[in-house]
A and B are shown apart, each in its own frame.
Chain A
Amino acid sequence: MTGGSKKSGADPENAGWHGILDRLCPMHVLLDKSGHITHAGPTMQKLRPDAPLGGERFFERFELRRPHAVNSMDDLIASSGLKLHLRFRDVPTTAFKGVLMPLPREDGAIMNLSFGISVLDAVRDYRLTSADFAATDLAIEMLYLVEAKSAAMEASRRLNQRLQGAKIAAEEQAFTDTLTGLKNRRALDHVLGRVIETDAPFAVMHVDLDFFKAVNDRLGHAAGDHVLQEVARIMIDATRRGKDTVARTGGDEFVILFEGLIDRAALDRVALRIIGELEKPIRFEGHVCRVSASCGTALSSDYASPGVERIMADADAALYASKRQGRACHTFFSPDLLSLPAMPPTDLSGPPPRN
């Protein structure tokens, strides 16, 4: 027997029992009354090929981590039947689960051990094979499952990565804002570039929501998303389908491109209608959300040759003029707006309406 023995292992009857135990539970150890190991199962001994466990004091080779304060053979006997957590004192300090039962006639005890979850490391560290586990042990099935699941998980992970990549690529190529269904910045640039090329007159209106952050902060992103979807619907309703382009260009920033429309009165009516509709309470899951908007518009007719960047910047300047006037209004760009002193950003965060 690999384990060696101190006194009882030599007699033929004990040798027979050892053979049986070695096969049924190859990771057991037998302890005598004084707490010495009299025999170790073949797999247990395989873990320490150069340091026989037989004859050693149990507590010198193993550290009992739970239950606490078990330091003697008497303590061990008192823990009979309990689940024990142990580990080797020397490296590798493999962890074990164990259970101990006293032998009849106060002739010591038997402790059966298993690796528990440390089986993965143990199999690698000690180069264990199927033959080192009892035929009834589920360790091999567990190793199989770990490997099969890891392989399947890896395949899923790769698929997810590829899908994620494809999604990002598709979004980059997309012209639609997925939340609101409006056009996105890319689409707007595209349409604006085409309109400028045709030399047709057009107007660019910037619409910026007021108090939107308060809705988000107070009622959460779901409420914020709902408000944005309502805002989108309002803008679509207020503009000419198929002619005007409504785009969401930032979190709560929108741009409307009016093709062939530079009539100030008509544009003013559209802006005020949008503001008026936006200020109506928007309901979300029993709460009422209140926002408003400021608008600023630049007309292509004000430029000898309108450039995208210039006209967008000017519409923005008009928008800020509206904010400065106390929000909820609409301003057309004029060059004198540019000479106004820059507004400190704190001025923009006036008191929100009662949400």
Chain B
Amino acid sequence: MHGMINRAIQRFVTDTYGAERWTCVASAAELGFTDFEAMLVYDAALTQRVLDAVCGDLEKPCEEVLEDIGTYLVSHPNAEALRRLLRFGGVDFVEFLHSLDDLPDRARLAVPDLDLPELDLYEHSPNRFALTVRGSPDGFGHVMMGVLRTLADDYGALVLLDHRGERNGQEMIDITLIEAGFAEGRDFDLGARAG
């Protein structure tokens, strides 16, 4: 698994629950080290061990932890760069949804060896969509739930999300757009350039 993903889990725990909590997780997962490097590649089994350790330590179900990670990734100031990169995908939430098809390719432009799960958006009607998540470790759809929920707020859109579970290695999320311009949303300044 790419270090970016492991590092994201580490930063989620550190920024949300503190560095000591992460030290506990790292030792429970028997990593043999404390810090993941974002630009190195790790054995895939390591990621599952870390996730199990996080869930055990926080005493939360895995789906909940994964969705919290998704939320963290696009809302915490320390992850602002990622939120910005996703906001480049579109000027409104629907355009953003359509940009998800390109997300793995976009990610590869920046980090060539970063393989993200395949995302496919189906538009049932102008306000009803389904997103499928394929070729990923279990539960990536729940991370996407957190990302979608938070970015909808970011765009000021009101949406309903429903994780339909996993079938044949494919997770499906139903997305209903209730109102595109529900709230002000967060400002996206093209020229701001997050550090």
Contacts and interface: CB of A to CB of B under 8 A. Distances in A.
B190 A129 contact: yes
B82 to A, nearest CB: 8
A152 B111 contact: yes
A148 B106 contact: yes
Interface string A154-182: 11101100100000000000000000000
Contacts of B88: 140, 143-144, 147
A147 B91 CA distance: 17
A123 B37 contact: no
A151 B85 contact: yes
Interface in A197-230: none
Nearest to A156: B39
Contacts of B39: 152, 155-156, 159
Nearest to A129: B190
B106 A144 contact: yes
A156 B113 CA distance: 13
B109 A128 contact: no
Nearest to A144: B88
A158 to B, nearest CB: 8
A193 to B, nearest CB: 33
Nearest to A160: B39
B20 interface: no
A338 interface: no
Contacts of A154: 195
A68 interface: no
A155 B38 CA distance: 7
Contact of B190 (A123, A148, A149, A156): A123
A140 B191 CA distance: 10
A156 B195 CA distance: 14
Nearest to A162: B37
B85 A148 contact: yes
A158 B39 CA distance: 9
A78 interface: no
Contacts of B84: 147
B194 A145 contact: no
B124 interface: no
A145 B109 contact: yes
Contacts of B109: 145, 148-149
Contacts of A120: 191
Interface of A (DSSP majority class): helix
Interface string B156-195: 0000000000000000000000000000000011111111
B110 interface: yes
Given A130-B91, A151-B85, A156-B39, A145 B191 contact: no
A151 B105 CA distance: 16
B38 to A, nearest CB: 4
Contact of A147 (B38, B188, B193): B193
A152 B88 CA distance: 16
Contacts of A150: 193
Contacts of A145: 109-110
A158 B106 CA distance: 22
Nearest to B114: A152
B81 interface: yes
Most buried by A among B85, B88, B190, B194: B190
Contacts of B111: 152
A131 interface: yes
Contact of A149 (B38, B40, B110, B195): B110
Nearest to B89: A144
A151 B40 contact: no
B111 to A, nearest CB: 5
A130 B40 contact: no
Interface of B: 4, 37-40, 81, 84-85, 88, 91, 106, 109-111, 188-195
15 contacts: A123-B191, A124-B192, A128-B191, A129-B91, A143-B190, A148-B106, A150-B193, A151-B81, A151-B85, A152-B110, A152-B111, A156-B39, A159-B38, A159-B39, A162-B37
> Top 8 A-B pairs ranked by shortest CB distance?
A124-B191, A148-B110, A123-B191, A144-B88, A155-B38, A159-B39, A151-B81, A152-B110
